[in-house]
């Protein structure tokens, strides 16, 4: 799922300084699971901001409201009747949710309350690790289920690069060499020949906005 | 506006009633149209992967949450609402893929159940085991 981390309070305070009525919009999806943007975090952020502004005797009206998912048009509809009362919205959904709100309410500034970090796995409660950068050109079949885009500092499709420092990446001793991990696992699976299969260069499709039309839905969404 | 709040176990019936009133038409239509045909069941991947447990049937989930709240005119105890919270948050991921041959918008009704729970400070807490 998508993983996010709350922004520091002073940064948020800075954004909202000029607004009097502030709505914090939470999301019941991925950011709830990673404890960054659900209803509980809405309540925490509200309290923290109220406390921060009370120190400077600044009066602000701050309210919170959590919808089930900010990335779904039908599920943000219930905010329509609420947002008109506020000068700005702090969305603590992922970047997609924040932009979705900003598109729906173009007259109201929608500001981020979290930093969206990654698509990752849950290692434990409150502990997550990145696994995917949504590059759109998955090569995991040839790399023993280890993503070279996410885990190699250079993101190279055909490795290793030659900068391997023992078992680690030349960038830092704290980073495993992804291509050594790939080599070891492929060897364990007795399919080392896969490492020799040259992958065509990455097109870096994730540098522009992509639209996903699932198989079977082409007739509905794509004009012929 | 029904702010998401924490009522420390107290139920604010007025807020629940105002959500029910605001969405009366949709809830009533869903309750009237549901023929208990159970055709929605197989469209739910959770139902299919939980040994066809009837508590995962989409119709069960909306009838025993927002449906029950409507029939009880919003007068429910904290315990009853907690059970509904577990039903709408834990038995449903709101993938919106459930299908009703009569056209009942089941995900919207489950969302309403969640909205009522949220209005009373009840939601799924992912940091609790």
| Six-digit token string for A7 | 């922004």
Would you say residue B97 lies in a domain?
yes
Alpha helix (H) ranges present in B1-129?
Answer: 13-22, 24-33, 45-49, 58-62, 68-71, 78-85, 106-119
- Structure pTM? 0.89
| pLDDT > 50? residue B40 | yes
Instruction: Identify which of A78, A85, A2, A7 has the alpha carbon closest to the alpha carbon of residue A49.
Output: A7
- Residue B1: the pLDDT is 46
Closest-CA residue of B relative to A63 is B3
Give the mean pLDDT of chain A: 94
Distance of CA B79 to the CA centre of its chain: 15
Residue B3 falls within a domain, yes or no?
Answer: no
pLDDT tier at B127, thresholds 50, 70, 90: confident
What is the pLDDT of chain B when averaged over all its residues?
A: 92
Each as own residue / partner, the long-range contacts of residues A156-161 (CB below 8 Å, 24 or more positions apart, any chain) are A157/A199, A157/A200, A157/A201, A157/A202, A158/A198, A158/A199
Q: CB distance B96–A72 less than 8 Å?
A: yes
Residue B119 — very low, low, confident or very high, per pLDDT cuts 50/70/90? very high
Look up the domain containing B96 and give its range.
13-119
- Comparing CA positions, the residue from B11, B118, B95 lying closest to residue A66 is B118
Domain count, chain B: 1
Contact status of B61 with chain A (Cβ, < 8 Å): no
Strands (E) in chain A, as ranges, are 2-6, 21-27, 61-67, 88-91, 110-112, 114-124, 127-132, 168-169, 172-176
Residues of chain A with pLDDT under 50: none
Please name which of A198, A199, A159 lies closest in space to residue A181, comparing C-alpha atoms: A159
- Confidence class for position B2, pLDDT limits 50, 70, 90: very low
Residues 6+ apart with CB under 8 A from A60: A16, A19, A20, A21, A22, A49, A50, A53
Provide the ipTM: 0.84
On whether residue B124 sits in a domain, the answer given is no
Report the C-alpha gap between A117 and B34 in whole angstroms. 43
Give the separation between CA A178 and CA B14, rounded to whole angstroms: 57
- Say yes or no: B18 contacts chain A, CB-CB below 8 A: no
B67 pLDDT above the threshold of 70: yes
Give the class (CATH, top level) of A2-119: alpha beta
Contacts of A39 in chain B (CB under 8 A): 4, 118, 121, 123
Domain residue ranges in chain A: 2-119, 137-206
């Amino acid at each position: 799922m998508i993983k996010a981390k709350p922004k520091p309070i002073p940064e948020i305070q800075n954004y909202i300084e000029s607004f009097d009525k502030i709505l914090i919009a939470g999301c019941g999806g991925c950011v709830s699971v990673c404890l960054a943007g659900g209803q509980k975090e809405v309540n925490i952020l509200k309290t923290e901001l109220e406390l921060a502004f009370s120190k400077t005797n600044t009066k602000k009206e701050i309210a919170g409201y959590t919808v089930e998912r900010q990335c779904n048009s039908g599920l943000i509809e219930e905010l329509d009747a609420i947002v008109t009362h506020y000068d700005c919205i702090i969305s603590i959904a992922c970047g997609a949710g924040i932009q979705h709100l900003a598109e729906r309410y173009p007259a109201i500034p929608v500001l981020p309350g979290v930093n969206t970090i990654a698509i990752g796995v849950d290692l434990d409660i409150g502990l997550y690790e990145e696994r995917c950068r949504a590059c759109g050109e998955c090569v995991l079949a040839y790399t023993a289920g280890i993503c070279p885009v996410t885990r190699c500092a250079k993101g190279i499709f055909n490795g290793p690069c030659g900068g391997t420092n023992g078992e680690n990446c030349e960038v830092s001793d704290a980073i495993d060499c992804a291509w050594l991990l790939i080599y070891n696992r492929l060897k364990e699976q007795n399919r080392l020949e896969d490492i020799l299969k040259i992958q065509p260069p990455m097109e870096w499709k994730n540098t522009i906005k992509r639209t996903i039309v699932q198989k079977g839905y082409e007739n509905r969404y794509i004009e012929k | 506006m029904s702010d998401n709040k924490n009522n420390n176990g107290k139920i604010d019936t007025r807020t629940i009633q105002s959500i029910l009133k605001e969405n009366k038409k949709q809830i009533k239509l869903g309750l009237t149209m549901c023929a208990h045909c159970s055709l929605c069941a197989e469209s739910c991947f959770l139902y299919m992967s939980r040994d066809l447990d009837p508590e995962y049937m989409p119709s069960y989930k909306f009838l025993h949450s927002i449906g029950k709240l409507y029939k009880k005119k919003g007068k429910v105890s904290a315990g009853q609402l907690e059970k509904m919270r577990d039903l709408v948050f834990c038995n449903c991921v709101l993938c919106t893929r459930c299908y009703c041959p009569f056209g009942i918008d089941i995900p919207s009704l489950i969302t309403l159940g969640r909205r009522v729970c949220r209005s009373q400070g009840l939601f799924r807490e992912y940091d609790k085991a």
